[in-house]
Structure 1
Amino acid sequence: MPVKMVLEKGKVPVNIYTDEIESSALDQLTQISQLPFVHHHVAAMPDVHTGIGATVGSVIPTKSAIIPSAVGVDIGCGMNALRLSLTATQLPDNLKPIRLAIENSIPVGFNQHSRASVANSTLKQLDKGIDNILAKHPTISKMMKRIHDTWTCQLGTLGGGNHFIELCLDENQAVWVMLHSGSRGIGNNIGTYFIDLARKDMERLQVQLPHRDLAYFPEGTQYFDDYVEAVHWAQDYAMENRREMMRLILESLRKVFPYFEITKEAINCHHNYVSIEEHFGEKVYLTRKGAISAREGQLGIIPGSMGAKSYIVRGKGNADSFCSCSHGAGRRMSRTAAKKHFSREDLERQTAGVECRKDSGVLDEIPSAYKDIDVVMENQSDLVEVVHTLKQVVCVKG
């Protein structure tokens, strides 16, 4: 479907790929569009909804400036998926042992590994990068106890919130492993620190903003290069975190299924990040907050909720969306509202047939708290084509 709504209250228009959007998200998008350095227009994906700092599902091209809160604090959050040679007929009737095996391999929530599990070469590379950042910004070190031990032991861990690990079946009954996570505590600290630093910079320079959350670093100023260095390190960390989780998951599955092959990696992709790209004749800093890259032919992952379908997609390279698409179904209800509105019985009913936690601790992730993924997909038919349709049979939540 083409753009469904255009906001024209700012310095640039906002192209919106849905008509299901709350007024607070429209306000946030309008505020973003009023910034003088936004290039050409802003795009809002079909899963768009109100976020902290900036709108989730927004794609923001900026020239000579970056907005740290638009990237957010879960820097580099994203998805990874692999198709295995296993099929549905090879899965046991009782899937709980598989879920428990994954949970035993991957710490969830605030838990972490007792020691680093990744290769020393990877640790050394990441260690060098974070040391450079902390040397210039030692305050980040004080935001986390035993920061080196923590970030190394959190590599290969899930975290909480909407992060998950799933076993899914596609339309051919092939088994897929799919996971969603980001840069964990260290990414949160980096994001929080630089968001606060940008706000202080704006106050010092007496810059008038549409909203304080849209504080930015102009190119050439004191902290711009430091933020670029830090955000790219956190994105690399998030990518490595997903790789390590996938390795550990496959290791745990081999204890249950000794013989299987990895037949295809769909993609390991960010959906909260900034990159340097060229759009509408200009080189820009493109921030995707809750959106993935969908260049022509590029594979991507669009998950639904823990009771709905997910999709492996191929990008169509739509210029008006800055070659982007949605990162999921998108919330239609806040976590607090979902906990008040739904019961455990609702959760059990909506996740019937899925081996997962069904307790009050994951009630805020109930499928009805999310938009209808089928409608979201219909609204971005101009942006991507579906390659595989997945349905989860096992789901591990943080």
Structure 2
Amino acid sequence: MPIRTTINKGRVPVKIYTDQVEYGALNQLANIAQLPIVHSHIAAMPDVHMGIGATVGSVIPTLGAIIPAAVGVDIGCGMNAVRLTLKASQLPESLRRIRSAIEAAVPVGFDMHSRPSIQRKSVAQLDAVLDEILGKHPGLTKMQKPQVWAKQLGTLGGGNHFIELCIDESQDVWIMLHSGSRGIGNVIGRYFISLAKKDAQRHQLHLPDKDLAYFSEGADHFDDYVQAVEWAQEYALVNRREMMRLVVEAIRPHLPEFQVSKEAINCHHNYVVRETHFGEQVFLTRKGAIAAGKDQLGIIPGSMGAKSFIVRGKGNAESFCSCSHGAGRIMSRTQAKRQFNRADMEAQTQGVECRKDKGVLDEIPGAYKDIDEVMANQSDLVEVVHTLKQVVCVKG
């Protein structure tokens, strides 16, 4: 479907690929549109909803500047998926052992490996660049011990991060996972968001929202932020790759012999990147959106009880070659815990081997938009290549 709604309340328009947007998200989008650094327009994906700092599901092109709070604190959060040479019929009747094996191999929540699961020499470049960043900003070490980052490589985290075993329309088996830059990315995000706010106050920038403080090229901290955010994005890619390796090795003893297809996709959906759009080179922030360039593959997950999709981008210029990163929430985590109970969770995740206790009620499928409607609203942005349905889901 084409753009459903356009807001003209700022310097640039906001083009939205749905007509169901909450007031808080509309207000956030209107605030961003007032900034003098925004180029052409802002695009809001069909999973758009109110976020912290900036709207989730927004694509923001900026000229010579970056808004750290728009990138957020889960820098480089994204998806990874691989297809296995297994059919659904080859899976055991009970999948409990598969789930247990994954949970034993990949630390979740705040847990981490007791020692790095990956050889430090294989991430020597990450190590060297982080040392350089910490040398310039020793305050980061007060927020997290430097050695923690290595132990968190190959770990899931919490919230909406997950690992799933899925079946596609051809009965092929897939592994799909969702995670980001873990604690070190959070620390980098919070540290530079705070610096941006202090700089804005010092320079007396007039902002519609203090969270929209930005670094401009040539100004203090801009180059350091670019280096740090690019480091965190690379860390997130490596984290997902290492987690996938651990999952594959963990499930091998419980399944017939199989091979792994080439890595299908390892893509960010919270990040900033240099791209050219509408005649200008910009810093493009995708906050809860994935790249959907012409023929580019991506992953759009549903909730833990719904379908997910492997998609191919159509290179839609108005969306800045982007699409949604998932279904998008329709209620807060607090509201979900208040509105639903364990019986609701069991009903909505029927047929999925997963946690169904009150600790994951905030991730219940009913807290999310209908993924089929989200996909229908972005038919101009992507085409579906594979439709996946999970049979195992591990949550943090």
Question: TM-score of the superposition, structure 2-length normalised?
Answer: 0.99
1:53–1:72: 8 Å Cα contact kept in structure 2? Answer: yes
Q: Determine the structure 2 residue equivalent to 1:65.
A: 65
Q: Determine the structure 2 residue equivalent to 1:156.
A: 154
Q: Determine the structure 1 residue equivalent to 2:56.
A: 56
2:92–2:255: 8 Å Cα contact kept in structure 1? Answer: no
Alpha-carbon distance between aligned partners in 2 of 1:267 and 1:280, rounded to the nearest angstrom: 27
Q: Deviations over 1:305-324 (max 9, x none)?
A: 00000000000000000000
Which residue, 201, 205, 209 being the options, matches 2:207?
209
Deviation at 1:264, TM superposition (A): 4.1
1:84–1:264: 8 Å Cα contact kept in structure 2? Answer: no
Q: Deviations over 1:148-186 (max 9, x none)?
A: 321100000000000000000000110000000000000
Alignment of 1:305-344 (within 5 A): 305-344=303-342
> Could you list the runs of 5+ residues in structure 2 that have no partner in the other structure?
none
Q: Determine the structure 1 residue equivalent to 2:46.
A: 46
Q: Determine the structure 2 residue equivalent to 1:200.
A: 198
Deviation at 1:259, TM superposition (A): 1.1
Q: Determine the structure 1 residue equivalent to 2:133.
A: 133
Alpha-carbon distance between aligned partners in 2 of 1:159 and 1:51, rounded to the nearest angstrom: 19
Q: Which amino acid in 2 is paired with 1:51?
A: G
Deviation at 1:258, TM superposition (A): 5.0
Q: Is residue 246 of structure 1 aligned with residue 244 of structure 2?
A: yes
Alignment of 1:210-359 (within 5 A): 210-257=208-255, 259-359=257-357
Find the residue that maps to 2:84 and give its secondary structure: strand
1:266–1:301: 8 Å Cα contact kept in structure 2? Answer: no
1:5–1:18: 8 Å Cα contact kept in structure 2? Answer: yes
Q: Deviations over 1:94-152 (max 9, x none)?
A: 000000000000000000000001133233211101101110110000001xx232110
Q: Determine the structure 2 residue equivalent to 1:21.
A: 21
1:272–1:291: 8 Å Cα contact kept in structure 2? Answer: yes
Q: Deviations over 1:242-279 (max 9, x none)?
A: 00000000001112125101124320000000000000
Find the residue that maps to 1:263 and give its secondary structure: coil
Find the residue that maps to 2:150 and give its secondary structure: helix
Aligned length: 396
Deviates more, 1:303-312 or 1:249-258: 249-258
Q: Which amino acid in 2 is paired with 1:55?
A: T
Find the residue that maps to 2:311 and give its secondary structure: strand
Q: Determine the structure 1 residue equivalent to 2:87.
A: 87
Alpha-carbon distance between aligned partners in 2 of 1:219 and 1:258, rounded to the nearest angstrom: 54
1:266–1:312: 8 Å Cα contact kept in structure 2? Answer: no
Deviation at 1:338, TM superposition (A): 0.2
Q: Which amino acid in 2 is paired with 1:139?
A: G
Q: Which amino acid in 2 is paired with 1:160?
A: G
Find the residue that maps to 1:165 and give its secondary structure: strand
Alpha-carbon distance between aligned partners in 2 of 1:100 and 1:214, rounded to the nearest angstrom: 42
Alpha-carbon distance between aligned partners in 2 of 1:276 and 1:365, rounded to the nearest angstrom: 33
Find the residue that maps to 1:44 and give its secondary structure: strand
Q: Determine the structure 2 residue equivalent to 1:174.
A: 172
2:90–2:256: 8 Å Cα contact kept in structure 1? Answer: no
Find the residue that maps to 2:190 and give its secondary structure: helix
Q: Determine the structure 1 residue equivalent to 2:122.
A: 122
Alpha-carbon distance between aligned partners in 1 of 2:64 and 2:261, rounded to the nearest angstrom: 42
Find the residue that maps to 2:154 and give its secondary structure: coil
Alpha-carbon distance between aligned partners in 2 of 1:141 and 1:190, rounded to the nearest angstrom: 10
Find the residue that maps to 1:253 and give its secondary structure: helix
| 4+ long deviations beyond 6 Å | none
Q: Deviations over 1:322-343 (max 9, x none)?
A: 0000000000010000000000
Question: TM-score of the superposition, structure 1-length normalised?
Answer: 0.99
Q: Is residue 384 of structure 1 aligned with residue 376 of structure 2?
A: no
Q: Deviations over 1:323-381 (max 9, x none)?
A: 00000000001000000000000000000000000000000000000000000000000
Find the residue that maps to 2:147 and give its secondary structure: helix
1:73–1:189: 8 Å Cα contact kept in structure 2? Answer: yes
Q: Determine the structure 1 residue equivalent to 2:187.
A: 189
Pairwise CA RMSD: 0.7
2:305–2:352: 8 Å Cα contact kept in structure 1? Answer: yes
Deviates more, 1:149-158 or 1:120-129: 120-129
Q: Determine the structure 1 residue equivalent to 2:369.
A: 371
Q: Determine the structure 2 residue equivalent to 1:7.
A: 7
Alpha-carbon distance between aligned partners in 1 of 2:387 and 2:350, rounded to the nearest angstrom: 19
Q: Which amino acid in 1 is paired with 2:8?
A: E
Alpha-carbon distance between aligned partners in 2 of 1:264 and 1:58, rounded to the nearest angstrom: 30
Q: Determine the structure 2 residue equivalent to 1:99.
A: 99
